[in-house]
Homo-oligomer: A and B are copies of this chain.
Amino acid sequence: MNYRVVFNVLGSLLCFLGPLMLIPLVVAMYYGESPYPFAVSFAVTTIVGSLLSFRFVSTGEDEWEKREGFAIVAFGWFAAALFGSIPYMFDGVTPLNALFESMSGFTTTGATIFVDIESHSRSLLFWRSMTQWIGGMGIIMLFIAILPKLGVAGRQMFRAEAPGPKEDQIKPRIRETAKILWAVYVSISVLELILLLAAGMSFYDASTHTFTTMACGGFSTYADSVAAFNSPLIEGIITLFMFIAGANFALHYKTLYSDKKSLIKDNEFKFYFVIVAIATILLTGILLRDTYDTIPTAFRYAVFQVLSILTTTGYATADFNLWSDSGKVILLAIMFIGGCAGSTAGGIKVVRVLILLKYARRELFKAIHPKAIRPVKFNGKSVPGDIMHAIISFVVIYLLIFLLSSTILTILGMDLTSSITASIATLGNIGPGFNLVGPMANFSTVPAIGKLVLIANMWVGRLEVFTVIVMLTPEFWKR
């Protein structure tokens, strides 16, 4: 392990994060709140980052190998969450809760330990939303530019005819790709911001909710989440942008700048759309039977909640914890799917679910025609064996972590439904679950050890599991 490279990059990352804290500092001054917390956070983060960068100077000849890549990604996210938690502590949040909230931000999970959201300062809530937007950008880069290089996400599969030049070296490629994706992400965000402003939201509300929509984050500045606005128009805009944020950003780029049909030709996007359609129809029917009186009302709440959960955003326009179990099971099922690869969404991802289904279908065929050769196809190409293996082992390990986490939470005394949904809601970076951790409740009642488990879930889930889990193997630290 080349520690110099790792610490050098971590230092650079903090030097990038620190100055971003000046934005909530400006917000604080605008609203007449104390700028002190963000000034201190800015100083601490930037100084530590600079010290790290200077202490571990990169010679410019260092090569990133796989292990260094894994360590940078995993500890990079952790460092961001750690230093990003400083402002919370100035607002009287305990260190554990601050780390929880900050990790929930940077991983775009949106699970909160805030009991009374509106009691916190506007600048802190702005920072909280902003961390999700930063995390969301990081995720897109991670998935499209970095992980394929580390062999995690399966480059060929996940549309890594990604935008940008195609050098062999990692660094220039990441830099170019990052620029392009940043531009796409910013452009779509600006579009949402304008639409939300036009729909009558204040600049503060519009910007914070743009941050958390585009990142599939789900933090709201209101305890009632998007229900606070009680506006079908705003819900419609947010629904649309959740749908966009849950799809592949590399495809958004291609759709905008080269092939207009990039999205609708893509197998993953088509399946994503089918899931949204089926879940919405089912849920509308169930809500019409059990909860609401008219089709438009049932549809309004159904489509919003389906997209919020499937894209792992986690907003709520209704307390779905009070819906019938029929409705809840639809939400629970799509919690295990998540959005598209290369989006800001979390979860197992649509492409993995789709390929796994095609794989199972192929095996059924082979049960009758054992000698027939019928490859699993995705976007017209055969899925290679190593990609198949990567997908399957991902799902297995994902479900094992889910089981382990659920078990620990119940052993700590939480009820089964809360334990299970808290686990999947953090591992899938969704945010709210059912019962104790429902959309109108919060994670403050989870025991301390449980919070640590959930922090780990968010971190592991956001980094596509392998990035963190490989560090648990002895092989990682060898030599």
Contact = CB atoms under 8 A, between A and B. Distances in A.
Contacts of A324: 410, 413
Nearest to A370: B151
Interface-centre pick from A286, A324, A411 (highest chain B CB count, 10 A): A411
A419 B466 contact: no
Q: For chain A, what secondary structure do more than half of its interface residues adopt (helix, strand, loop), or is it mixed?
A: helix
A11 to B, nearest CB: 25
A66 interface: yes
Contacts of A475: 365, 368-369
A174 to B, nearest CB: 19
Interface residues of A, number: 53
A329 B367 contact: no
A476 interface: yes
B330 A407 contact: yes
A368 B473 contact: yes
B333 A469 contact: no
- The number of times this chain is found in the oligomer is 2
A132 interface: no
Contacts of A470: 364, 367-368
A70 B364 CA distance: 12
Contacts of A286: 411
Contacts of A410: 324-326, 328-329
Contacts of A67: 368
Nearest to A150: B367
A403 B356 CA distance: 15
A66 B333 contact: no
Given A473-B364, A475-B368, A359 B396 contact: yes
Contact of A466 (B325, B364, B413, B416): B364
A246 to B, nearest CB: 21
Given A66-B368, A365-B473, A396 B360 contact: yes
A148 to B, nearest CB: 13
25 contacts: A66-B370, A67-B368, A70-B368, A282-B411, A325-B414, A325-B415, A326-B411, A326-B412, A329-B406, A329-B410, A329-B411, A329-B419, A330-B407, A357-B396, A357-B400, A360-B393, A363-B390, A363-B392, A363-B397, A365-B475, A367-B470, A368-B473, A368-B476, A369-B475, A416-B417
By Cβ-Cβ distance, the 4 closest A-B pairs, closest first, are: A363-B393, A329-B410, A325-B416, A360-B396
